[in-house]
Amino acid sequence: MAQKKTKKERGGKGCSCLEGFTMSQSFEWAAKQLLTQMGKSAGFNCKNEYRLKIEGYNRYVAYVDHVWLAKVPHPFGYSRDFAIVAFEITNDLTALWNMKKMKGDVENLRLSGASLGVLVIPTVDALKGQAEKLGYGSTTWLANLKSYLEVLKKIAFPLRLEVWCFDHKNNKLSIFE
């Protein structure tokens, strides 16, 4: 995996220089950067690669791609970070259609203990281009995608699950409709 450049090497804050990254890496990296910006502006502590450990068991059982944390005071005088929103990022249609992978992502979101789980996927237009390249046809895959995402939301229960689309070209997020 390519090493990420330092802020100084990228030309400072806000520069989107991604030389040496694959499309998959740059999509995930850019999505995490935008999620961090959004989370911090909403007052959350943000963390990438949030690892989940079971108390008393010295191993990680899962991790989520990104999480928004809030510091909550405890009645005994200390405070603790709690996951409020957890994110799993999937960058292509092939990974998205892999039910085993997506069920694993949903389980990771549940294990995070967050109030809201979010699957971040490419925009419908980006997925449409991938579908055409894979020969999925131009219309049926979208109807199937909507049904498929509804099934994932049911699997996620009792976690509230939302699907957000990341427009990599314009660096914007929107809710999948």
Q: At 116, which CATH number?
A: 3.40.1340
Per-residue confidence (pLDDT) for residue 25, from 0 to 100? 60
What's the rounded Cα separation, in Å, for the pair 107 and 43? 26
Which structural domain, as residue segments, surrounds residue 73? Answer: 19-175
14 in any annotated domain: no
4 in any annotated domain: no
Highest mean pLDDT among 33-42, 69-78, 167-176: 33-42
Averaged pLDDT of the chain: 82
1 in any annotated domain: no
Per-residue confidence (pLDDT) for residue 5, from 0 to 100? 43
The count of structural domains within the chain is: 1
What's the rounded Cα separation, in Å, for the pair 57 and 35? 30
Angle, alpha carbons 132-153-106 (nearest 5°): 85
124 in any annotated domain: yes
87 in any annotated domain: yes
6 in any annotated domain: no
User: Using 50, 70 and 90 to split pLDDT, how confident is the model at 120?
Assistant: very high
Cα(first)–Cα(last) distance of the chain, in Å? 34
pTM: 0.80
User: Using 50, 70 and 90 to split pLDDT, how confident is the model at 58?
Assistant: confident
Mean pLDDT, residues 88-110 taken together: 90
* pLDDT surpassing 90 at residue 106: yes
Q: Are 105 and 88 in contact (CB under 8 A)?
A: yes
5 in any annotated domain: no
Tell me which residue has tokens 């510091």.
Answer: 71
145 in any annotated domain: yes
